Amino acid sequence: MAKRLTCDVVVVGAGMVGAACAWYAARASLDVRVVDRGPVAGGTTGAGEGNLLVSDKGPGPELELALLSARLWAELADGLGAAVEYEPKGGLVIASTPAALSALTRFAAGQRAAGVTADPVGPDELRSLEPYLIPGVAGGVRYPQDAQVMPALAAAHLLRASGARVHTGRTVTGVLRAPDGTVRGVRTDHGDLHAPAVVNAAGTWGGDLAALARVRLPVLPRRGFVLVTEPLPRRVRHKVYAADYVADVASDSAALRSSPVVEGTAAGPVLIGATRERVGFDRSLSLPAVRALARGAIGLFPFLAGVRALRTYAGFRPYLPDHLPAIGPDPRAPGLFHACGHEGAGIGLATGTGRLIAQALTGKAPDMDLTPFRPERFDTEGGESA
């Protein structure tokens, strides 16, 4: 006989993606519980910058998800905007040289065709948009759809607004399966939670949760350092970064590639980030990484040379081999849904992901095609699955 259900959905992970899944699922009238071994926003969410970017994505499923997410973030901001420090400040991508500018211009043309607002900006206008920008750059593109939130606040407020019960400090030790393989909830170190649906929003640790359900999801960590300066008046107005960032996100190189986004925050400090390194879960300080961030930031805003960095921190961005997240039901474990592997874009893509998961949970037609995000897409014929 079936156990009495605790709730309709268990979301594993109290980070940004888990919070968005909980919120949209609760709005779809589902009874949701969120469980996390740590505190709210204790993982990658707490170590992120809060970039809601469309500017760094080329045409394709990730951009489509980013555009959906940007619309949803703007909706959410109606109620929660100030609390989560939402700022629709727009992005500004800088090309230092004519060659970089022509590459950027081509890239932006492709984005426009995919629905992105991308306005070319000449050198003079750049200076009026960003008065402290280094003089002499070739040009840039402005992306009004780029925005920013404070990620930990966003996750915490969204969780609270969802009304979901949140169990922090509770570790999932197993995924409960019926004899026919159907997922029935999770086992935790503080008892079982019975539910017909489990959402894997465990971020960098999403592969471990998948393994508990005996399915394979090759999520790997990618380390990112962020530099935080002393509090400043608003000298950096947009999210500003150099054009080589675009090529970097999809890079397969394991070596350090720095692509600093420089931005002011509502609280005062300028954030500079992030590096992207594949070094496993090594949190130790990398001076070459922070040096690269500092150089990149000063290269855009020379006044920063005399500004002090108060701290730096590393987070682990979860990525899958094709750099697309896993979103949707797992046919290998009916009742299991994945919402992880967003790499450095999880804050921005959280809202769209949450909405798509809620649609999948309630059997509604999804706002976009989930095929590119299928969680089982890495299973090869050799049957590597765990």
Partner 1 sequence: MRPQQPAQARPDVRARQSGQARPDGTCTVTFDGRPLEARPGQTVAAALWAAGVTAWRTTRRAGRPRGVFCGIGVCFDCLVTVNGSPNQRACLVPVRPGDVIGVQEGTGRDDD
Partner 2 sequence: MTERPRLAVVGAGPAGLAGALAAAARGVDVTLVDAAGRPGGQFHRQPSPALGAPPRQGHTWERLRTGLDRHRVTHLTEHHVWCVQRDSMSFLVHALLGPAQDEGVSLRADAVLLATGGHEYVLPFPGWTLPGVITAGGAQAMLKGERVLPGRHVVVAGTGPLLLPVATGLAAAGAEVAALVESADPGAVPRRFPDLLVRPDKLAEGAGYAVRLLRHRVRILTRHTVVAAHGTDRLEAVTVAPLSPGGRSLRILCDTLAVGHGMLPGTDLAETLGCTLTGTAVRVDAEQRTDVPGAWAAGETTGIGGAALALAEGHIAGRSAAARLYGRTPDPAGWAPAARARSRLRRFFAAVDAVCAPPPGRAGSVPDDTVVCRCEEVTAGEVRTAVSTLGATDARSAKLLTRAGMGWCQGRMCGPAVAALTGCPLTPGRRPFARPVPLGVLAALPDPDAPAP
Binding partner at 232 among partner 1, partner 2, none, C-beta below 5 to 8 Å by kind: partner 1
* Least distance CB 309 / partner 2 (angstroms): 5
Structure tokens at 343: 């790499």
Residue 384 as a binder of partner 1 (CB under 8 A): the answer is no
For residues 61 and 73, give the distance between their C-alpha atoms in angstroms, rounded to a whole number. Answer: 18
Contact residues toward partner 2 (CB under 8 A) are 14, 38-42, 46, 152-153, 156-157, 159-160, 166, 168-169, 227-231, 267, 269, 272, 284-285, 287-288, 290-291, 293-295, 297-298, 304-313
Q: Look up tokens 């804050």; give the residue.
A: 347
Restricting to residues 233-262, which ones interact with partner 1 according to CB under 8 A?
A: 233, 235
For residues 336 and 9, give the distance between their C-alpha atoms in angstroms, rounded to a whole number. Answer: 10
* Least distance CB 307 / partner 1 (angstroms): 9
Cβ proximity to partner 2: between 270 and 327 the closer is: 270
Q: Look up tokens 């407020």; give the residue.
A: 157
Binding partner at 320 among partner 2, partner 1, none, C-beta below 5 to 8 Å by kind: none
How far, in whole angstroms, is CA 218 from its chain's centroid?
17
What distances in angstroms separate CA 349 from CA 46, 165, 224, 337, 380, one per listed residue?
16, 23, 18, 16, 27
* Least distance CB 310 / partner 2 (angstroms): 5
Structure tokens at 113: 């065709």
The answer to whether the CB of 58 falls within 8 A of the CB of 107 is yes
- Indicate the angle between helix axes 346-361 and 16-27, nearest 10 degrees: 30
* Least distance CB 4 / partner 2 (angstroms): 26
Structure tokens at 64: 């489509």
For residues 24 and 27, give the distance between their C-alpha atoms in angstroms, rounded to a whole number. Answer: 5
* Least distance CB 13 / partner 1 (angstroms): 33
Cβ proximity to partner 2: between 38 and 120 the closer is: 38
Closest CA to 200 of 179, 190, 189, 186: 186
Cβ proximity to partner 2: between 191 and 288 the closer is: 288
Choose the stretch contacting partner 1; rule: CB under 8 A; options: 57-65, 106-114, 165-173, 224-232: 224-232
Choose the stretch contacting partner 1; rule: CB under 8 A; options: 84-92, 212-220, 228-236, 274-282: 228-236
* Least distance CB 135 / partner 2 (angstroms): 18
Bridge partners (DSSP) of residue 12 are 35, 200
Residue type, 147: A
Using only C-alpha atoms, what is the Rg of the chain? 21
Binding partner at 297 among partner 1, partner 2, none, C-beta below 5 to 8 Å by kind: partner 2
Bridge partners (DSSP) of residue 78 are none
Residue 268 as a binder of partner 1 (CB under 8 A): the answer is yes
Q: For partner 1, which residue of 74, 211, 220, 232 counts as binding (CB under 8 A)?
A: 232
Restricting to residues 297-316, which ones interact with partner 1 according to CB under 8 A?
A: 305, 308
What distances in angstroms separate CA 183 from CA 6, 59, 191, 236, one per listed residue?
14, 35, 16, 48
Residue 153 as a binder of partner 1 (CB under 8 A): the answer is no
Binding partner at 222 among partner 1, partner 2, none, C-beta below 5 to 8 Å by kind: none
* Least distance CB 16 / partner 1 (angstroms): 27
Binding partner at 290 among partner 2, partner 1, none, C-beta below 5 to 8 Å by kind: partner 2
For residues 89 and 53, give the distance between their C-alpha atoms in angstroms, rounded to a whole number. Answer: 11
* Least distance CB 306 / partner 1 (angstroms): 9
Q: For partner 1, which residue of 191, 231, 288, 302 counts as binding (CB under 8 A)?
A: 231
* Least distance CB 155 / partner 2 (angstroms): 9
Binding partner at 363 among partner 2, partner 1, none, C-beta below 5 to 8 Å by kind: none
Distant-in-sequence, close-in-space partners of 69: CB < 8 Å, separation ≥ 6: 52, 348, 349, 350, 351, 352, 353
Residue 230 as a binder of partner 1 (CB under 8 A): the answer is yes
Distant-in-sequence, close-in-space partners of 386: CB < 8 Å, separation ≥ 6: 211, 214, 215, 216
Cβ proximity to partner 2: between 106 and 295 the closer is: 295
Which residues of the chain form contacts with partner 1 (CB under 8 A)? 230-233, 235, 268, 305, 308
